[in-house]
Each structure stands twice: as structure tokens, then as C-alpha cells.
Amino acid sequence: MTNTEAERDLSAADVAWDLETLLPDGQSADDLLAQADDKAAEVSEYRGRVASLDAAGLADLMTDLSVIGELVSRAGHYAMLRFSEDTTDPERGAAMMGIEEASTAISTKLLFIDLEWAAAEEGHVTSVLGDPSLDQYRHYLENMRRNRSHLLTEAEETILTEKAVTGSSAWVRLFDELTSVIEVEIDGETQPLEAGLSQLQHPDREVRKTAADAVTAGLAPGIRTRAFVFNTLLLDKSVDDRLRNFDTWVSSRNLSNEASDESVEALVNAVVGRYDIPQRWYKLKAQVLGLEKLADHDRNASVADSEKRVGWSEATGIVRDAYESFSPELAGVVGRFMDEGWIDAPIRDGKRPGSFCAYTVPSHHPYVLLNWTGRTRDVATLAHELGHGVHAYLAREQGLFHQSTPLTLAETASVFGETVTNNRLLSLLDDPGERFSLLASILEDSIATVFRQVAMNRFENACHITRREEGELSVERFGELWATSQHDMMGDTVEISEGYKSWWSYVPHFMGTPGYVYAYAYGQLLALSVYARYAEQGESFVPAYLDLLRAGGSRSPEELGKMVNCDLADPGFWDAGLAIVDEQLTAAEEAAKQAGRLS
């Protein structure tokens, strides 16, 4: 590899997706929406008859809705993914807004279906849903019925749907645009926010401190605007929840996640009750780093003896090998992502921060977006997002309505894939120092996904409640709530700086998917329990796991859990998952001693 080739490999410069296949036969996104609109006009003939349709008629209606959904989703994903490539491009932004407007108009024409189905008599519903012709739609139709007490009149639903384009979705888009152009200046060089955040893993404390100061400085311009966006979305949700008679700010999210308020509260309380785990780790980490106490910019510091840069070719080789060690079938799907233009990896100016997997539609393949920095952490992120990818790919057979799972199971395959990759790497390491570094990384992923996300849920909870009880929050008040939630998790083991109080202001989940973050903890603890079943059963476990992925969201979370012998209804289930994280910590402590990293 020449120097230039090596540099391009380190930055994954040549790893770009091909979005044009989303538009079949040379058609434009507008062409697809026009077809969807025509189909929606045909479906309008069902008005007044939905509640009394027999099984065959209901199956025909759902087939028509699948066609409409496929067309709209192809167009919408094409626009969204192009916008993610460059959120500063006005043409892409305008195109995405145009498609959102057209999609909303189509959705408005179909609102009557949900309302009429919700009003159907229970005896009739039970009768028709027992027919085999509705197997591929049954769970979706049952879930539609669960929403019936929160639906408004058709006129009211129409107004809310049409106003959403200029309401909440517009504010979320503004936030994405504002955060996508945040820059940090390090050593005289201007870089995207993601590059600055990645420096917080650097083994050199001065580098971390410089990066943290640069992030804080980069977040300062526009923070009042981002706070106003958040305030507006908090108020918008409170109005929506009041109109729809939801008991709490998170009840609507729990309903869509097919989880009760009580079960989610049990999860959160279980995690908060084990905040001793991250606090034990941060004390140990301070010892390993030779510090009396961690500063907030030390929290993500690498404990490796040196910071290794990882190129794209090496990283993909590691991840392919890890998936192959578990399932050749999954490895084959992973290989397609890497080889067939399903991933967009390099950092670019204006590119959306973070990483995600877009399922698109069952008749097409998913896509993965990364912001590759060449850090070892990026390898785990790649394995994680490809876990989402294989889940989406295998669940395509469930069709449009059942391909996706509730958010509570959305992280299971991703965390499982990450765990397989990490454990595969561990099996290849003999050096005590290298083993400690990897064990520490694995533990930190669990802490970040379980404890940090629940701490973020506690921040989000405080924001929603405070906005409803006290009115608009100031930047300073947001900072106070953020610092409190972080201190509750870290205790006195980490010193929280004044600058860190602004770091809530770049997190997109708070804006676009309120209530989302606890699903990370749910998924992590579930995935660790699933992996424990694999460790116990070996290869005999693989078919059941693949069946779980193929099932998508066609069953309730409890039913899906039973497929891999996990009882999500057991109140002690979360304690069992937390015990696994405790075991990870114990393993890291022992490895630190063996590696001679403790004074």
C-alpha cells in the first residue's frame, strides 16, 4: 500500500454508498410519490367500510397499504440519506422537505383507516384476525387497536398531521442542520465536531483536555438557538400528550415500544440502583491512568498503552472474521454491506454526525452511515451498525409492517454483533496488557450503553417535567439538569467542569425521538443475556437467534424474547443483565492486576 493509499484507507475515503438503486427503473422520487398518491386515491374507496371488512377484504386493503408504504419510504429514504451526506446543501434540504410535504398529504388521505379500524367491534376484530390470510399483518393490526384510546377525530388528526411538517419535524431538521455545522478548532486546525469528540479517547491527557475545551468552545455559538429548539419540542410534546391523554411524557414512547410504563420504570430503577458499577470503574480507571480523580474529559480516555490507528481494510477484516465465527450466513450479509456500496463511512464537511442504519424497505437492502476516524472504537461501531444491518436484512421477509422491531429490541442484534466481535478479538490475545485494554473497552461500552443512556433518560425526564411545571428552560437550567443527572451516575469519582454543562446540546435523540435513549439500556442488557445463552449452548443456539432476527417485529417483545429463552416479563431479568456487566467489571479489575497497571 502506498502512503496515499494507506491514508485513504485510514480515513475510509473511498467507502461510499450507492443510493440510486432506491429509485427503480430510472424513476425519480417524485415519480414514486405520484404513484403512491394515485394508489391512496384508490384506497379512499374503503372509507366507511374498514370496520366491517372480512378477512379477505382486510388483507386486500393491507396489501394496497404495503404498496403505498414501499413507494413513499423509497422516496423518503432517498431524500433523507442524500441530506445526511451534506446537511448544508440547500437543494438536498429542499428536496427532503418537498418529499415530507407530499408524504404528509398522502398520509392525511389514509387517516380514516386507523380511526375506523380502532372503532371496529371487538368480536369482529377477534374473528377476522384469526384468519391465516392476515398472518403477515396480524401483529401490526393488533397494535393499531392498542392506540385507540389516544386517537382524536379525523378532522383533528388531519390538522395535527399536516401541521407536523411545519411543526416538530421542521424543528428537528433545524436542530440537525445546526449541529451538523458545529466545528472545533484544535491546534489551529478546524475540524467537524465528531473529530473533536473522538479525541476524548486519546491516551494523552493534554490532548483530551484540549479536545474537550475545543468541543465546549464549539458548542457555545448557537447554544441559545438549540435551547430554544429543545424548549419548543418539549412544549410541542406536552401539548400532544395532553390532547391524546397520555399519563406521562414517556407513555407514548412506551406504547410504541410495546412496553408498559411500569416495566420501563422497573428497568430504569434497576440501572440507577447499580450506579455503583460505573463509579467502581471510574475509580479503577483513575488508578490505571495515575490520576487522583478523573475529570470529565478523562471519562472516555483509552487505557491502551498506545493509540493504534485502524484502517478500513483491517477493520472490515476483523468484523467479517468475527461474524464468520458465529454464523457464515450473517458473515455473508455483512460482506455484502462492505462490498456492494451499502455503507458511507468517511467524515465530510456537512455530513450528519454519528452513525446509524437505515432499514429502507423490504424490497431493497439497508444502508449504514458512519463517521470513520480510524480509532479502535470505530471497529466496534462498525460491528454494532452491521448488527442492525443484518437484522434489517433478515427481517425483510416479514414485509413492510413487521420488518422493524420496537425500539426496545432495536439494539439487540447490534449489541450482540459488537459482543461477538469483542469476544472474538479477546480469544486471539495473549498479552495481559492488550487483554486489559480490550476488556476495559468492552466494559466502557456497557457502561456507556446502559448507565450513561439511563442517566440521559433521567436528564430527559427532568427536562420534560420541568418544562411542564416551570415553563421555558434557560441554557443554564438545561446545564444544571444535565450536570445533576451525570453526577448521579458518576458520583464523586468524576469532576464535572463548568464547560461540560453544555454537552447536552448536540444529542439528536432528545429532539427527534423523545424517550428513545432507555431503549439502548434495554437492548444492551437483553443482548448480554442473549449472548450468555449462546455461551452456554454454543452452535445449537445459532438457529434460534437467526429465527429471532428473521421474525423482525412480527411478535411482541415478550414473545420474541422467549424465542431465545429470555423472559422479559420477569422483574428480575434486568438484575441478571446487570450482573453480567458486574462480571465484566470484575474481569477488567483482574486483568488490570495481571497487566501490572495498578500502582
Is 396 within the bounds of a domain? no
Residue 129's domain spans which residues?
14-166
β-pairing, 343-346 vs 356-358, is: unpaired
Q: Which residues lie across from 192 on neighbouring strands? A: 183
pTM above 0.85, yes or no: no
H or E element at residue 19: none
3-state secondary structure at position 196? helix
Element (H, E) at 494: strand 494-495
Look at residue 36 and tell me if it is in a domain: yes
Give, for all 599 residues of the chain, the pLDDT tens digit: 677 999 999 999 999 999 999 999 889 999 999 999 999 999 999 999 999 999 999 999 999 999 999 999 999 999 999 999 999 999 999 999 999 999 999 999 999 999 999 999 999 999 999 999 999 999 999 999 999 999 999 999 999 988 988 999 999 999 999 998 999 999 899 999 988 998 998 889 999 999 999 999 999 999 999 999 999 999 999 999 999 999 999 999 999 999 888 888 989 999 999 999 999 999 999 999 999 999 999 999 988 766 678 899 999 999 999 999 999 999 999 999 999 999 999 999 899 988 999 999 999 999 999 999 988 789 989 999 999 999 999 999 999 999 999 888 888 999 899 989 988 888 877 888 888 988 998 899 899 999 999 999 999 999 999 999 999 999 999 999 999 999 999 999 999 999 999 999 999 999 999 999 998 898 889 888 898 899 899 999 999 999 999 999 999 988 999 999 998 888 788 888 999 999 999 999 999 999 998 86
Q: Which three cell numbers stand for residue 498?
A: 463548568
Q: What single-letter amino acid sits at 380?
A: A
CATH number, domain with residue 73: 1.20.140.70
Residue 423's pLDDT is 85
- Determine the distance from the C-alpha atom of residue 224 to the mean position of all C-alpha atoms in its chain, rounded to a whole number: 26
pLDDT at 411: 86
Cell of 278: 460505573
CA distances from 143 to 55, 146, 147, 255, 257 (A): 17, 5, 7, 9, 10
Say if 128 falls within a structural domain. Answer: yes
Q: What are residue 343's phi and psi, to 5 degrees?
A: -130, 140
Kindly give the residue spans of alpha helices, DSSP state H, lying in 90-192.
90-109, 111-119, 122-129, 138-146, 154-164, 168-180
Q: Where are the alpha helices (DSSP H) in 181-275?
A: 193-198, 205-219, 223-243, 251-256, 261-272
Rg (CA), the chain: 24
Is 209 within the bounds of a domain? no
Distant-in-sequence, close-in-space partners of 484: CB < 8 Å, separation ≥ 6: 459, 462
Q: H or E element: which one contains 343?
A: strand 343-346
Tell whether 444 is covered by a domain. no
Cell numbers 495473549 correspond to 430
In this structure, which amino acid lies at residue 123? G
**Residue 264: HSE in the Cβ half-sphere, 13 Å Cα cutoff:** 26
Q: How many independent structural domains does the chain possess?
A: 1
* Terminal CA-CA length for the chain: 42
Q: Grid coordinates in use for 118?
A: 380502532
Does residue 213 lie within any of the structural domains?
A: no
**Can you name the residues that pair with 186 across neighbouring β-strands?**
189
Does residue 215 lie in a domain region? Answer: no
Q: What is the DSSP letter of 353?
A: S
What's the rounded Cα separation, in Å, for the pair 10 and 314?
A: 9
Residue with cell 470513520: 372
In-domain check, residue 133: yes
Separation CA 201–CA 298 (nearest Å):
8
